[in-house]
Amino acid sequence: MTNFDRLSAVSIKDSISDALLGKILSGELKPGDRLPAERDMAEQMGVSRSSLHHAVLQLETQGFLRIEPRRGTVVADYRKHPTPQSLSALVGYGSIEIDEPLFHDMMDARIWLETGCARRACRYIYESTFEEMKEIAGRIATESDDLPGIIYRYHYLLTQASGNSIFSMMFRAFEPVITTLITRYYTMRDADIAAEARMHRELLGHIRAGDEDAAAECVERLLRLGMDALGRKYEK
């Protein structure tokens, strides 16, 4: 049976939905699971029943819960039946504690986005953007203070280099999730920083040469390096 931690009064306003959503995204609560009665959940969390009910209604609107007559509140399959609010709620939840299918969905979406941006960058990149990416690539092997920060900046610049503002907006929308994934990867002992540095420099060479296929392949190889390392945590 799923238990719910008590919440402090200060965190009630912002945390009830996050507490429930976290259990859904981690896989602790699965599609079809029925939640306890709101009275019981509110007592476990130490919150008012009205506050909990408001959070449940919000998650129903976002496609994560479903309220069924005579059955109560049930976890919905947001992958099969998303609502327009599902994505905004998902990307705003910055925790890395997500289940394996969702992790792979996120990484596949990022590969799709960044390989497309790499192709377009071969045609549209500004010299100033190229030079900043080159400067960042040169720092990766030696940076110790804010490696995740400069890696995020490099990939954000890649989306800007595509010449399509919507691609940049999409990347920024995923910022909480992407920065958490980057931070987790670069704190792993088996992260191959030297290989990462080489591949970031290699990508710029392909962009400079205008080789769209090689640029897209390099980005995918680069992202799959981190994807494979992070994915191993699900095998444990």
Q: How far apart are the first and last CA of the chain?
A: 23
DSSP single-letter state for residue 210? T
Structural domain count, the chain: 2
Q: Quick check: is 207 in a domain?
A: yes
Is there a single domain that holds both residue 112 and residue 175? yes
Q: Quick check: is 88 in a domain?
A: no
Is there a single domain that holds both residue 205 and residue 125? yes
pLDDT of residue 205: 97
Pick from 203, 179, 172: nearest CA to 94: 179
Q: Quick check: is 1 in a domain?
A: no
Q: Quick check: is 213 in a domain?
A: yes
Q: For 202-227, what is each residue's pLDDT tens digit? A: 999 999 999 999 999 999 999 998 88
- Degrees (nearest 5) of the Cα angle 59, 62, 65? 45
Average pLDDT over residues 101-113: 88
Tokens of 144: 């110790």
What is the rounded average pLDDT for all residues in the chain?
Answer: 85
Segment among 119-128, 131-140, 153-162, 169-178 with least mean pLDDT: 169-178
Backbone angles phi, psi at 65, to 5 degrees: -130, 160
Parent domain of 170: 94-235
pTM strictly above 0.75:
no
Is there a single domain that holds both residue 176 and residue 221? yes
Higher pLDDT, 162 or 51: 162
Residues 151, 31: Cα–Cα separation, whole Å: 35
Tell me if residue 142 falls in helix, strand or coil: coil
DSSP single-letter state for residue 36? P
Is there a single domain that holds both residue 50 and residue 103? no
Q: Quick check: is 69 in a domain?
A: yes
Domain stops at, among 27, 50, 80: 80
Residue 67 pairs with which residues in a beta bridge? 73
Is there a single domain that holds both residue 100 and residue 69? no
Domain stops at, among 29, 50, 80: 80
CATH of the domain at 153: 1.20.120.530
Domain stops at, among 51, 80, 109: 80
Q: Quick check: is 86 in a domain?
A: no
Pick from 157, 218, 152, 153: nearest CA to 186: 152
pLDDT of residue 200: 95
